[in-house]
Every structure is written in C-alpha cells, then in structure tokens.
C-alpha cells in the first residue's frame, strides 16, 4: 500500500455507524479482490475508466494472432465478448459492494465497450441516471476517411438502485453553466500539453490519461466536500488529483506499480483549493425549513395583513395561526400559504413562498424575502 504525505483516516461522521474505507491511498493489485476487501457500503462514489474491449487490443486474441474462418468465427467472437463481459460483471459487482446504498457510479468508455458495460450494470441492478457525452474539441481525425471522426466518449452515471437517494449538485452545475441547466453533452479538450504526464524520454506515462477538467465536473456534480471517491482503474491518478484539489477523499486501485508511483508523486504536488466554503454553495434544498407561521410569530407580518400575487389578481388575509383565508368565485379557502395559493388559482399545487407578496412602501415583495431574513438569523 502506497501512502500519501497527508495520509488521513478520518472516521467519517455519518448517521449510520459503518466502517470507514482507508482514504487517500493507492492500493496496488487486482481491483476486484481489493474492492471486495473494502468495508461494504464505504464509499460515496466510484469513478471507473476500465480497459476497452480486450478483443480489440489483441490481449484476448489467440497467441498467434490468427483470425478464425467460417463457423468457428462466431464461437471465437462470442468467447471474446464473454470474457470481457465476465470481467465487467466482476468489477461492477465488486464496486457495488464497496458503494454506499445512496452512492453513485460513473463509468467512461467508447463504442467498443460501453454498450456491454451499460447492459451489464443494468442487469446488476444499477439504475442509469444519465449518459453523458464527452465531446472532444480536438479529437484525432479519421486518417483513412472510412468513418466519421470519433469525436466523443460516453460516460454512464448510475445510482445503486431505482429508489436510491443519490446526490446531485443541481445548483452548482447550473452555476457552472451560467444559470442554465447543465446538459448531458460536455465539451472538453483532450489531456495534452503540460497537463499530460510524460516520462524522462518524453513518452506518455499512460496512454489514456483523462483531462482534469472532466473529473472536476464529475466530482463536483455528484459528491460533497469530505466524501470518498473510489477509482478502481486509477492509472496515473487523475481522479485522485482532482479529488484532493476539491477536498474529497480518494481511494485508488491500480494493478501496475509504475502507474501507481507516477500517480502518487503527482497527487503529492496538488494543493487543495481555498476554504471549504468556497466549494459548497448552499443549495435551496439544504436550507433549514422555516414555517410561514414563524414570520407571524416574529412580527415580520401581522395577522390581518393582506397578501397578493404579483399582478394583484388574487388576495388573501393572514390569520393569527399562520394560515391564510381568501375567496374567489369558487368560494372561501382556508389553509397553508401553499394550499390557498393553489385553490385561488385552481391549480393542484403552488409554492406559496414565491406566489404570495406583501406590500412594503407601495411595492410588492415576495414573502420568501422575509423567510430569507429568518434563515440568515438562524446562523
């Protein structure tokens, strides 16, 4: 086991008492057995960049590299895919063991292997959340002019099961995209230039090093500060480097000791980003719940005050218990800000916080402004 300088074994303080995974380490060896040795349900996310179909790289071809003719060919082909499928089932199963029930899995691949990976992970019970396209700004051209330029790779993002409560940093993703929802197609350049790790002779340290920007978006979309990320095909440690930068814990598994050594030295040079609060913008959903009645209790709104919608088409009065009463052609409506807002509009539901407004200096202001004031006082 290789250790980083800043080795930590922070016992995570989550609700369930579980054994923590050994964080910020590289484990050298076979990822299937090493993942099975990790405590069950101990990591928040798995990012995997598995080898492509070995049939293509020749590893699964016959030793003499001959191709079989005729009837035998189909069997041979089946055998190759079957071997790759078995390998895929094994590591996806082991990852499932290490992954928390509410954790998520990312896998990246190309058309050579991604269809097999996707089908198998569905068979194992993973629930696909998105497939994400990494569009390359600078792909390798198709030199022979026989196909379209293969200008993308595919990632699958999946939860452990259909009803898992996975984490998605919706607001952070939206902020990264200038207030528009982040889409399933991402544009990044290949890993080249100074980011690309090379040995003393100038040769690539690893043939398929991924760009850090890609991992930056993956990790910030689906993990929180302090979470643990497991990468079973660690290579030269892009996942670990970005995890450290974003103040996530990481576990890398790598079979080749040479890669692991490069990765360890690389990660040692990474500086974690500025203060944690810069990394974790408060999401609306994680804010404390403030019932409307609290505003009345605190005197921010008086019983008897009239509330309006933005166009003053609807109005309702505040009762002392924090409910509203309003009337339209359908009759009188009593209840929560949400229920009355919905009833007045004839809709099945309504967010009363943004629908109802109070009058301040002749202007209408949403009652949500008052809630924000209360939330600010709670810190």
Partner DNA sequence: CCCGTTAATGAATCGGCAG
Partner DNA sequence: ACTGCCGATTCATTAACGG
Residue list 160-199, contact with DNA (CB under 7 A): 165, 170-171, 174, 179-181, 189-194, 196
Name the residue nearer to a copy of itself (CB basis): 222 or 260: 222
Q: Which stretch binds DNA (CB under 7 A): 27-35, 120-128, 244-252, 271-279?
A: 120-128
d(CA 105, CA 118): 11
Picking from 10, 26, 102, 8, the residue whose alpha carbon sits closest to that of residue 258 is 26
d(CA 315, CA 115): 56
Shortest approach of a copy of itself to residue 57 CB, angstroms?
10
| Helix or strand run (H / E) with residue 28 | strand 25-28
Shortest approach of DNA to residue 333 CB, angstroms?
12
Q: How far apart are the first and last CA of the chain?
A: 43
For tokens 């202007």, name the residue: 363
Edge-to-edge strands of the sheet including 127-136?
Answer: 2-3, 25-28, 249-254, 228-231, 43-48, 99-109, 152-159, 127-136, 185-188
Binding-site partner at residue 363 among a copy of itself, DNA, none, CB < 5 to 8 Å by type = none
Contacts (CB under 8 A) with a copy of itself, residues 350-369: 350
Q: Which stretch binds DNA (CB under 7 A): 28-36, 203-211, 248-256, 261-269?
A: 203-211
Q: Give the residue, chosen from 40, 68, 119, 276, that forms a contact with DNA under the rule CB under 7 A.
A: 68
Name the residue nearer to DNA (CB basis): 171 or 261: 171
Binding-site partner at residue 9 among DNA, a copy of itself, none, CB < 5 to 8 Å by type = none
Is 230 within 8 Å of 35 (Cβ atoms)? Answer: yes
Q: Which stretch binds DNA (CB under 7 A): 22-30, 45-53, 252-260, 268-276?
A: 45-53
Q: Give the residue, chosen from 24, 47, 49, 231, that forms a contact with DNA under the rule CB under 7 A.
A: 49
Could you tell me which residues are beta bridge partners of residue 43?
Answer: 99
């Amino acid at each position: 086991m290789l250790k980083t300088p800043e080795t930590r074994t922070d016992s995570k303080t989550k609700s369930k008492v579980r054994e923590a995974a050994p964080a910020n380490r590289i484990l050298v060896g076979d990822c299937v057995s090493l993942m099975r040795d990790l405590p069950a349900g101990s990591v928040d996310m798995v990012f995997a960049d598995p080898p492509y179909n070995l049939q293509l790289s020749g590893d699964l071809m016959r030793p003499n590299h001959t191709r079989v003719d005729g009837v035998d060919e189909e069997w041979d082909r089946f055998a190759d895919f079957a071997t790759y499928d078995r390998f895929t089932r094994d590591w996806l199963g082991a990852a499932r063991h290490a992954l928390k029930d509410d954790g998520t899995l990312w896998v990246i691949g190309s058309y050579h292997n991604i269809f097999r990976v996707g089908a198998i992970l569905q068979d194992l019970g993973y629930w696909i959340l998105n497939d994400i396209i990494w569009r390359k700004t600078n792909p390798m051209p198709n030199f022979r002019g026989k196909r379209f330029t293969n200008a993308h790779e595919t990632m699958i993002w999946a939860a452990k099961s259909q009803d898992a409560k996975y984490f998605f940093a919706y607001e952070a993703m939206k902020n990264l995209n200038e207030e528009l929802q982040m889409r399933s197609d991402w544009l990044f350049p290949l890993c080249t230039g100074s980011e690309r790790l090379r040995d003393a002779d100038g040769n690539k340290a690893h043939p398929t090093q991924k760009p850090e920007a890609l991992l930056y978006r993956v990790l910030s979309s689906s993990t929180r500060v302090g979470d643990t990320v497991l990468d079973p095909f660690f290579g030269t440690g892009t996942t670990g480097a970005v995890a450290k930068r974003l103040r996530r814990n990481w576990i890398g598994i790598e079979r080749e000791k040479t890669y692991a050594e490069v990765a360890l030295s690389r990660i040692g040079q990474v500086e974690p980003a500025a203060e944690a609060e810069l990394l974790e913008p408060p999401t609306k959903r994680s804010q404390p719940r403030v019932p409307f009645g609290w505003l009345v209790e605190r005197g921010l709104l008086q019983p008897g005050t009239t509330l309006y919608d933005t166009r003053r088409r609807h109005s309702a009065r505040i009762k002392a218990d924090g409910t509203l009463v309003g009337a339209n052609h359908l009759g009188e409506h009593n209840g929560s800000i949400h229920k009355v807002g919905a009833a007045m509009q004839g809709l099945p539901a309504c967010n009363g916080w943004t629908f109802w407004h109070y009058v301040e200096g002749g202007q209408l202001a949403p009652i949500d402004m008052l809630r924000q004031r209360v939330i600010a006082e709670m810190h």
